[in-house]
């Protein structure tokens, strides 16, 4: 077995795999992740095909799912293997819609008319981009246009809302994120670096954990839990260890998750509680980090070693999870979001969201894309695709074809700028499945009439997806299917041409230009390729539709950051990354309104302010169409309206 005791990069690929993975003592190699590429979503996924096997993924995936699943089922003994079995046994059943009045039936029945006037109403409807007034009744827009026209439609018993110079837009649509996973992580203290969280240095992490203890009345089940720390962005520029956490407590267990979710750190008390000692061997697919020159654990648990801790963490009850989901919805609403996505739904996520629908606790609409590990569950489920179950809907399926550029696991056609230590100089990342498997999954989806999303960060992964689409299109014929490349970080011009011909949409994780932009330029892709990550301008110039996303919980689902990044493309160091790919604010706005609704097959009811569409609206203090580009991230959201009801007010 390769040694990890000195903290050097180690090899722990599967037997015969011969692949070296990255070490975490160089935190820059592990900045951030993606719930659709992070290990913990790899539940229930047995490596039937050797091409699918990534041994390091399974330990953590199963462990995290075990925790999530037992939280939902109340089965605390759910170990990794048990969780895997249970998850595959979950069929998706249609939510039982609550009897009596639901939020939307109340909205639909509401008799009164509300007229909004006196501000800038940006409709996102190209025919009439600006309206003087709109009228809303029963959760829908019944008129939009001039004051005279709207007044004529509104009748006399009307409530008039004066916008007082503010701007009204269609509600924002989160077109790729993971709302259920975001809810789960809301149960942890946010230890993300600024601006996604409050952290600048290790002392900040310590004080946040103290705050967590206070606000939870002693911790969750006695544990202090944190998530999303990023040692590469700490002032100290070093990995945190149990010593740092011992300064917070030596009598209470502490666990904090790295932003990548590949790593966690525990304090000495937690180590003893978990029975992890100098004599504990590294578990399969994982590493217990040790102090240099000794066998003594330093508190850092990597990959499969997380399975030693996860099943022992305190469980959240269904009620607690529903409360966490409420909190996430409140936060999304404060960012102007009226439709959220669950972009890699697994069994436990499905249970939570359908329960929330049954209990009438979805204030936002949620569209789920079950993870491809659940294709069979979905095929035999009683859920009707694209049907609204009291705010919850299944949109299609989600494939995952590579990793992430920031972790240097994205599958590229050309080598990384700086290959990770221990890798060959032509290292280009790697696929998750082979071409035949990708083609079969797309073919299956086409045969069943399911919409298909695919996580592709590297251009080689996009090549694989586009080839699969082309094959399936030849076989099944051209039709309006709106397949979507999720993240689409390194799309080339020739790929955009092909995508346009085949009707494939890109959904860009455009805030990469800020969060990892410097890292992409200096180490991941080099100047040339990094300058065209999220090639939004190239997409617009072709007249193609595109969308913009934040991939919550990877980074917060703040839509203002999407507008700001697409328009400015500034990195953390405040340098412009790819000036030629910048776009205008109103074009960016399409990517979180009309085109985002289109991506969900909901442009008939959402995404613009037009008669007959849902009254999903956001009101802002400033007008993003005319405000200074650098101020877009400070756009003040004053009110968010879902189906005619105010769900957020500043």
CB of 455 to Zn ion, least distance (A): 4
CB of 509 to Zn ion, least distance (A): 8
What's the farthest any 2 CA atoms get from each other in the chain? 82
Q: Record the tokens describing residue 226, joined without a space.
A: 């944190």
Nearer to Zn ion, 455 or 545 (CB): 455
E runs forming strands in 371-409: 392-394, 396-400
Would the CA dihedral through 607, 612, 617, 619 be positive or negative? positive
List the Cα angle 216/220/222 in 5-degree steps. 105
Residue pair 386/414 in contact (Cβ under 8 Å)? The answer is: no
Nearer to Zn ion, 230 or 551 (CB): 551
176-215 residues in contact with Zn ion (CB under 5 A) are none
Nearer to Zn ion, 56 or 553 (CB): 553
Residue least distant from Zn ion (Cβ): 36
Nearer to Zn ion, 260 or 298 (CB): 260
Instruction: Say if strands 617-620 and 167-170 run parallel, antiparallel, or are unpaired.
Output: antiparallel
Q: What SS3 state is found at 229?
A: strand
**Identified binder of Zn ion from the candidate list 342, 402, 551, 603, rule CB under 5 A:** 551
Nearer to Zn ion, 170 or 343 (CB): 343
CB of 217 to Zn ion, least distance (A): 33
Q: How many other C-beta atoms can be found within 10 angstroms of the C-beta atom of residue 506?
A: 28
Nearer to Zn ion, 297 or 343 (CB): 343
Nearer to Zn ion, 174 or 360 (CB): 174
Beta bridge partners of 287: 302
Please report whether residue 287 would count as binding Zn ion according to CB under 5 A. no
**Identified binder of Zn ion from the candidate list 36, 68, 209, 540, rule CB under 5 A:** 36
CB of 112 to Zn ion, least distance (A): 40
**Identified binder of Zn ion from the candidate list 34, 173, 445, 619, rule CB under 5 A:** 34
Q: Which stretch binds Zn ion (CB under 5 A): 212-220, 517-525, 545-553, 579-587?
A: 545-553
Nearer to Zn ion, 23 or 35 (CB): 35
Q: Which stretch binds Zn ion (CB under 5 A): 69-77, 99-107, 286-294, 454-462?
A: 454-462
CB of 393 to Zn ion, least distance (A): 18
CB of 202 to Zn ion, least distance (A): 29
CB of 552 to Zn ion, least distance (A): 8
d(CA 245, CA 254): 7
Beta bridge partners of 117: 133, 162
In the numeric block, the tokens 């015969």 are attached to 16
Instruction: Give Cα separations from 298 to 201, 239, 240, 301 (angstroms).
Output: 19, 10, 9, 9
**Identified binder of Zn ion from the candidate list 455, 481, 520, 521, rule CB under 5 A:** 455
Q: Which stretch binds Zn ion (CB under 5 A): 197-205, 271-279, 491-499, 551-559?
A: 551-559
Q: Which stretch binds Zn ion (CB under 5 A): 210-218, 361-369, 455-463, 640-648?
A: 455-463
d(CA 616, CA 624): 18
Nearer to Zn ion, 269 or 508 (CB): 508
CB of 295 to Zn ion, least distance (A): 37
Q: Which stretch binds Zn ion (CB under 5 A): 295-303, 341-349, 354-362, 464-472?
A: 341-349
List the Cα angle 322/487/595 in 5-degree steps. 80
**Torsions phi, psi of 270, nearest 5?**
-65, -40
In the numeric block, the tokens 């991941």 are attached to 524
To the nearest 10°, report the CA torsion of 403, 404, 405, 406: -140
Nearer to Zn ion, 33 or 170 (CB): 33
Residues 291-330 vs Zn ion: string with x where CB under 5 A? ----------------------------------------
**Torsions phi, psi of 226, nearest 5?**
-135, 160
Residue pair 180/349 in contact (Cβ under 8 Å)? The answer is: yes
Q: What SS3 state is found at 266?
A: strand
Q: In the complex, which residues of this chain contact Zn ion (CB under 5 A)?
A: 34, 36, 343, 455, 551
């Amino acid at each position: 077995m390769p040694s990890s005791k000195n903290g050097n990069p180690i090899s722990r690929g599967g037997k015969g795999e011969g692949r070296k993975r990255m070490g975490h003592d160089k935190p820059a190699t592990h900045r951030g992740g993606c719930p659709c590429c992070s290990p913990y979503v790899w539940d229930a996924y047995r490596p039937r095909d050797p091409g699918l096997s990534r041994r390091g993924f399974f330990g953590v995936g199963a462990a995290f799912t075990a925790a999530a699943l037992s939280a939902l089922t109340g089965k605390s003994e759910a170990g990794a293997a048990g969780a895997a079995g249970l998850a595959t046994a979950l069929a998706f059943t249609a939510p039982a819609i609550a009897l009596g009045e639901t939020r939307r039936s109340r909205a639909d029945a509401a008799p009164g008319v509300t007229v909004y006037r006196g501000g800038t109403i940006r409709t996102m409807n190209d025919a009439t981009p600006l309206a003087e007034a709109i009228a809303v009744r029963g959760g829908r827009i019944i008129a939009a246009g001039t004051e005279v026209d709207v007044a004529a439609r509104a009748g006399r018993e009307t409530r008039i809302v004066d916008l007082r110079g503010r701007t009204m837009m269609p509600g924002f649509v989160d077109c790729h994120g993971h709302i259920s996973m975001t809810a789960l992580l809301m149960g942890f203290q946010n230890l993300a670096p600024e601006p996604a969280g409050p952290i600048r240095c290790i002392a900040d992490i310590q004080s946040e954990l103290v705050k967590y203890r206070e606000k939870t009345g002693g911790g969750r089940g006695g544990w202090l839990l944190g998530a999303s720390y990023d040692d590469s962005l700490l002032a100290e520029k070093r990995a945190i260890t149990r010593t740092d956490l011992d300064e917070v407590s030596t009598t209470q267990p502490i666990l904090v998750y790295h932003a990548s979710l590949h790593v966690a750190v525990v304090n000495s008390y937690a180590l003893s509680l978990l029975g992890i000692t100098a004599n504990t061997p590294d578990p399969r697919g994982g590493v217990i980090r040790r102090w240099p020159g000794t066998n003594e654990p330093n508190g850092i648990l990597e990959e499969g070693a997380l399975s030693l801790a996860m099943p022992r963490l305190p469980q959240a009850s269904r009620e607690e999870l529903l409360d966490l989901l409420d909190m996430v919805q409140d936060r999304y609403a404060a960012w102007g979001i009226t439709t959220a996505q669950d972009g890699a739904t697994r069994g436990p996520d499905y249970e939570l969201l359908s329960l929330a629908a049954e209990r009438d606790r979805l204030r936002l609409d949620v569209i789920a894309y079950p993870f491809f590990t659940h294709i069979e569950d979905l095929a035999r489920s009683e859920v009707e695709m694209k049907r609204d179950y009291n705010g919850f809907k299944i949109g299609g399926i989600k494939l995952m074809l590579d990793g992430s550029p920031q972790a240097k696991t994205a599958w590229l056609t050309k080598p990384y700028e700086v290959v990770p230590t221990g890798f060959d100089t032509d290292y280009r990342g790697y696929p998750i499945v082979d071409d035949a498997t990708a083609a079969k999954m797309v073919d299956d989806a086409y045969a069943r009439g399911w919409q298909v999303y695919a996580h592709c960060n590297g251009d080689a992964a996009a090549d694989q997806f586009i080839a699969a689409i082309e094959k399936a299109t030849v076989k099944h014929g051209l039709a309006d299917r709106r397949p979507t490349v999720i993240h689409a970080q390194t799309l080339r011009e020739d790929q955009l041409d092909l995508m346009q011909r085949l009707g494939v949409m890109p959904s860009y994780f455009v805030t990469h230009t800020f969060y990892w932009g410097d890292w992409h330029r200096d180490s991941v892709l080099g100047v040339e390729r990094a300058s065209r990550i999220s090639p939004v301008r190239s997409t617009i110039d072709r007249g193609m539709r595109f969308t913009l996303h934040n991939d919550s919980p990877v980074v917060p689902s703040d839509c203002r950051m999407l507008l700001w990044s697409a328009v400015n493309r500034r990195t953390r160091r405040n340098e412009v990354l790819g000036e030629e790919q910048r776009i205008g604010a109103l074009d960016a706005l399409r990517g979180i309104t009309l085109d985002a609704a289109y991506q969900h097959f909901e442009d008939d009811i959402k995404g613009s302010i037009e008669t007959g569409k849902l009254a999903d609206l956001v009101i802002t203090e400033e007008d993003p169409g005319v405000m200074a580009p650098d101020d877009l991230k400070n756009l003040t959201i004053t009110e968010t309206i879902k189906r005619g009801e105010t769900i957020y007010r500043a």
